[in-house]
Amino acid sequence: MPRTVKMKVFRGEKGEGAIHDYNVHIDDGMVVLDVIHRIQATQAPDLACRWNCKAGKCGSCSAEVNGKPSLMCMTRMDSLDLEKPITVEPLMTFPHVRDLVTDVSWNYTVNKRIKPFKPKAKEADGTHRMFQYEVDRVQEFRKCIECYLCQTVCHVLRNHGKHEEFAGPRFMIRTASLEMHPLDVEDRVPFIKEEGGIGFCNITKCCTEVCPEHIHITDNGIIPMKERVADRYYDPIKMLFRVLTGK
């Protein structure tokens, strides 16, 4: 039903600012991003927000809607309690730029530290053979749209600010997608243990809950990578074997 709603939107620069109130007329089926656009077009043309595809495929419009990190383009207004004001704030885990925009460049820096894909040699007929059952789990991780909602909710980053020591869920599964790639011959287990800081994750699964692509970040990505780290570094029998054989 078309109606007027009260929006409380954070406005300001570099963390300094305040919540501004806007009364907005909304129509059927609108999402939060539509409402932000309507505010831009009619009340505050300089209201900053990042967006692109408006279809949940590019991961640009992440913000905290009523305190919950969400994609604004996929959050329908009728899924919210419209009797109360709707709050829209920038992601808390990254440095603030302006209004709803944050500086997510740290994520790009982390990504660059992960060793690139390194394929094994092609088969004799010049092809690479991989079977669907082998690539299913890698394809799950590669669905990631880099919205960084998982990074935003992860308490290791959000509450403890361990950006220097912990790569965050996004890059745990990015590493997993390379490590589990049937053609890849690189070794990133030392990276994920040391620089990646996988030990900081205590499997609260907040990342999985918030993932708009429904990737099982913890169960299918982080836990198997933790197992690889444990196998390599903490398995007493393997440690003994390594000492004896020198491998």
Q: Give the interface with other proteins as residue ranges (CB under 8 A).
A: 13, 27-31, 34, 40-42, 44-60, 74, 76, 97-99, 101, 103-105, 108, 111-112, 116-117, 119, 127-132, 135, 138-139, 142-143, 145-146, 178, 181, 183-184, 214
| Minimum separation from the CB atom of position 132 to other proteins (A) | 4
Coil, helix or strand at residue 64: strand
Comparing CB distances to other proteins, the nearer of 117 and 241 is 117
Helices marked H in 114-205 — which ranges? 132-142, 149-153, 155-158, 169-179, 189-193
CB of 72 closer than 8 Å to CB of 33: yes
**How far apart, in whole angstroms, are the C-alpha atoms of residue 148 and residue 169?**
9
Cβ nearer to other proteins, comparing 59 with 221: 59
Least Cβ distance, residue 144 to other proteins (angstroms): 8
Shortest distance, position 102 Cβ to other proteins, whole Å: 11
Tokens of 51: 């967006």
**Residue where the block lists tokens 């309690």:** 81
Calpha distance 246→145 (Å, rounded): 42
Query: Which residue number, 53 or 239, has a Cβ lying nearer to other proteins?
Result: 53
Cα–Cα dist 228/211, whole Å: 24
Q: How far is the CB of 12 from other proteins (least distance, A)?
A: 11
Q: Smaller CB distance to other proteins: residue 177 or 218?
A: 177
